[in-house]
Amino acid sequence: MRILIYNDYDHLSQWVAHYVARKINQAEKKGDKPFVLGLPTGSSPIGTYQELVKLYQAGKVSFKNVITFNMDEYVGIPEDHPQSYHFFMWDNLFKHIDIPKENVNILNGNATDLEKECCDYEQRIKDAGGIDLFLGGIGPDGHIAFNEPGSSLSSKTRIKTLTYDTIVANSRFFDNDVNKVPKMALTVGVGTVMAAHEVLIIVNGYKKARALQKVVEEGVNHMWTVSMLQMHRHGIICCDEEASMELKVGTVKYFKDIEYDALHNLPKV
Ligand SMILES: N[C@@H]1[C@@H](O)[C@H](O)[C@@H](COP(=O)(O)O)O[C@@H]1O
């Protein structure tokens, strides 16, 4: 697992966006199949999305041949609700780029048969040839997508009940009122994320420091579901200094040394 520790969120976001754009362009050159990208919501990827929009506007990347799969969606709020993940994705990324609407996949939290929606989503991922690169964020309790502590590390897309921790953390988007936060969500499983060819997780801010410490310095544990990344063949964590605050000085120094190039040069797009 690679750990890239950037001085600040802006540098981290720039690097991630260039990395994604480079992968898209490499796939475009090969020309055999669309590039399949897994995407998160939340505040962590916003800087990356802004940088990707800039790269698109500068003509450095096109999303015409990209298929996306989002990680999760709340159950029971309309797609045009400002806090739905559908709304978030169009508002922060899709409406600013040239991705064809039919290439965007987001779980439907209002489907009449939610279990079928989850099974169909797994099938759609398979039909697309699997996910090439899954971007993700984490919750303060180390959850990935909505795979709350205790989730099966081989889980697939399914319905999950949100923990009180997550409801409180996400209430900041719902007028700080826990009662307004949906109690259930549809989410890809830890196994769905780990099946991607590559997984890149963005971790920023001090509130994620404890989770990062667990994931980097302790073992694989279902109570910190993102720790499963340790088992992935191509796992990368991009974090900022604040998120690294609970790591040992020696751990930080080690990863800063071995990732010197990635910390000082942007991937060529
Ligand atoms: N389901 C989402 C996760 O996919 C996301 O990673 C997490 C962190 O959000 P933020 O990036 O806003 O801290 O929030 C939610 O729980």
User: What tens digit of pLDDT does each residue of 118-147 get?
Assistant: 999 999 999 999 999 999 999 999 999 999
Question: Residue with structure tokens 């609407």?
Answer: 101
User: Is 146's C-beta closer than 6 angstroms to any atom of ligand 1?
Assistant: yes
pLDDT, position 61: 98
Note if 18 is an active site residue: no
User: Is 49's C-beta closer than 6 angstroms to any atom of ligand 1?
Assistant: no
Q: Which distant-in-sequence residues (6+ apart) come within 8 Å of 227 by Cβ?
A: 142, 214, 215, 218, 219, 220, 221
- How close is the Cα of 199 to the center of ligand 1, in Å? 16
This model of the complex carries an ipTM of 0.94
Straight-line distance from the first to the last Cα atom of the chain, in angstroms, rounded to the nearest whole number: 23
**pLDDT digit string (tens) for 38-97?**
999 999 999 999 999 999 999 999 999 999 999 999 999 999 999 999 999 999 999 999
| Choice among 51, 73, 132, 148 that is catalytic | 148
Q: Residue type for 268, please?
A: K
- How close is the Cα of 269 to the center of ligand 1, in Å? 27
- How close is the Cα of 34 to the center of ligand 1, in Å? 27
**Both structure tokens of 6:** 């950037």
DSSP 8-state class, residue 50: H
User: Is 42's C-beta closer than 6 angstroms to any atom of ligand 1?
Assistant: yes
Q: Which residues pair with 104 in a beta bridge?
A: 68
**Could you tell which of 48, 138, 151 is best to mutate to test the pocket of ligand 1, judged by most ligand atoms within 8 Å of the CB?**
138
Q: What is the mean pLDDT of residues 21-35?
A: 95
Note if 32 is an active site residue: no
Instruction: Compute the distance between CA of residue 149 and CA of residue 224 in angstroms, rounded to an integer.
Output: 6
pLDDT bracket for residue 152 (50, 70, 90): very high
Q: Which residues pair with 134 in a beta bridge?
A: 38, 199
| Contact (Cβ atoms closer than 8 angstroms) between residue 223 and residue 149 | yes
Q: Which helix (H) or strand (E) holds 183?
A: none
Strand positions, DSSP E, the chain: 2-6, 35-39, 66-70, 72-74, 104-105, 133-136, 158-161, 184-187, 198-203, 235-240
Measured between alpha carbons, how far is residue 179 from residues 167, 169, 170 in Å? 9, 13, 11
Note if 143 is an active site residue: yes
Taking the CA of residue 33 as centre, how many other CA atoms within 13 Å lie in the half-sphere pointing to its CB?
9
Residue 32 has pLDDT above 90, yes or no: no
pLDDT, position 165: 85
| Choice among 73, 117, 141, 240 that is catalytic | 141
Note if 115 is an active site residue: no
**pLDDT digit string (tens) for 153-176?**
999 999 999 989 889 988 999 999
pLDDT, position 166: 86
| Contact (Cβ atoms closer than 8 angstroms) between residue 254 and residue 19 | no
Question: Residue with structure tokens 């779980």?
Answer: 107
